[in-house]
């Protein structure tokens, strides 16, 4: 375990494909309720490593659509699970990877999300009404990918996010910052951010071993390589951190024998941190890894394909 050096891309591909196939492993059981998120993490990682063809596209799409609720327009985290915006975004992102948004009733899905916007501009995650800035980002990101942002009150959504700003320039705990910055980036509203203040707060997240943490006094964790780095890129302050040290930290969290990346060196690997580790390397233009869009959390070529071919 451990040992920095190069990215063990082939091993990571094998690890992801194995996890996707083994339904009886501990990891599969733990992820049972968020299987759709797991599919997004795993498949996006494969695409970043130029290996999306390692899985059977039709099988994946058939499974994704079996999590769909035609009566509401939302997706559940697994077959037979309740619809929620979290899983709806993952489903849309996976369909984007495979260029198969045609499998969707786009307006039905867009109406489901638009129906979750509240009077103050915030969004609930599902019919039970929990509100979180994550859901604002998810709603905006999903609708933008579907070319249906006009179905919500974008100005109110932006105003709500801006109202969540802290005095230190941040937006509550991570991934609150990423979600707020991402939503403002997608809606062209980054002027609401004090870039130097937020950039300073984000750069303070780099620990002495090179990794990033989510808030002061916390241990470094590979997943913040994505949350913090993407936010720094969106506000144009990524040059304020030491990228070499961060890349070394991520590479030190690899299981070089069996594939996968863990939260910190010598811990057990999982699909979540494998995705965020590779995504972080992508944002740092690591050789052999496709570039990623920091706002949409998808490979750049996928995002370009969606927006160069606008469907109204």
User: Lowest-pLDDT range, 154-158, 166-170, 269-273?
Assistant: 166-170
Give per-residue pLDDT as tens, 53-72: 999 999 999 999 999 999 99
What is the per-residue pLDDT for 117?
Answer: 96
Strands (E), the chain: 68-69, 74-75, 292-293, 298-299
Distance CA 112, CA 131 (A): 16
Q: Give, rounded to a whole angstrom, the gap between the first and last alpha carbons of the chain.
A: 50
- 3 belongs to a structural domain: no
Residue 218 lies in a domain: yes
Q: Check pLDDT > 80 for residue 26.
A: no
Residue 294: what pLDDT? 97
Query: Which residues 6+ apart lie within 8 Å of 11 measured at CB?
Result: 254, 255, 256, 257, 258, 259, 260
pTM as predicted? 0.92
Residue 281, domain member (yes or no) = yes
Residue 2 inside a domain? The answer is no
CATH number, position 45? 1.50.10.20
Q: Quick check: 205 and 214 in contact, CB under 8 A? A: yes
The answer as to whether 1 is a domain residue is: no
259 within a domain of the structure (yes/no): yes
The Cα–Cα gap between 227 and 294 comes to: 9
On whether residue 4 sits in a domain, the answer given is: no
Q: What tokens appear for 258 in the block? A: 């069996």
Asked whether residue 274 is assigned to any structural domain, the reply reads yes
Q: Give the pLDDT mean for 279-304.
A: 97
Where residue 32 falls among pLDDT bands split at 50, 70, 90? low
Domain that holds residue 153: 9-308
How many domains does the chain fold into?
1
């Amino acid at each position: 375990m451990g040992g920095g050096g190069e990215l063990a891309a082939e091993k990571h591909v094998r690890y992801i494909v194995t996890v996707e196939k083994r339904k009886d492993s501990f990891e599969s059981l733990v992820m049972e309720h968020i299987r759709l998120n797991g599919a997004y993490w795993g498949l996006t990682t494969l695409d970043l490593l130029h290996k999306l063809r390692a899985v059977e596209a039709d099988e994946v799409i058939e499974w994704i659509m079996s999590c769909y609720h035609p009566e509401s327009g939302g997706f559940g985290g697994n077959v037979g699970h309740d619809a929620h915006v979290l899983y709806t975004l993952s489903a849309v992102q996976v369909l984007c990877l495979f260029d198969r948004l045609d499998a969707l009733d786009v307006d039905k899905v867009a109406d489901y999300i638009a129906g979750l916007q509240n009077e103050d501009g915030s969004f609930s995650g599902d019919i039970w009404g929990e509100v979180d800035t994550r859901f604002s980002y998810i709603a905006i990101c999903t609708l933008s990918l579907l070319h249906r942002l006009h179905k919500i009150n974008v100005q109110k959504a932006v105003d709500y996010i801006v109202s969540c700003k802290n005095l230190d320039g941040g937006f509550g705990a991570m991934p609150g910052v990423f979600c707020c910055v991402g939503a403002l980036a997608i809606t062209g509203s980054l002027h609401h951010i004090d870039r130097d203040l937020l950039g300073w707060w984000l750069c303070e997240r780099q620990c002495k071993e090179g990794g990033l943490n989510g808030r002061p006094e916390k241990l470094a964790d590979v997943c913040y390589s994505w949350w913090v780095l993407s936010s720094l890129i969106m506000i144009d302050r990524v040059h304020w951190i030491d990228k070499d040290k961060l890349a070394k930290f991520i590479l030190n969290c690899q299981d070089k024998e069996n594939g996968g990346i863990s939260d910190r060196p010598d811990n057990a690997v999982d699909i979540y941190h494998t995705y965020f580790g590779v995504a972080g390397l992508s944002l740092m233009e690591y050789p052999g890894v496709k570039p990623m869009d920091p706002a949409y959390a998808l490979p750049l070529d996928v995002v370009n394909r969606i927006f160069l071919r606008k469907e109204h």
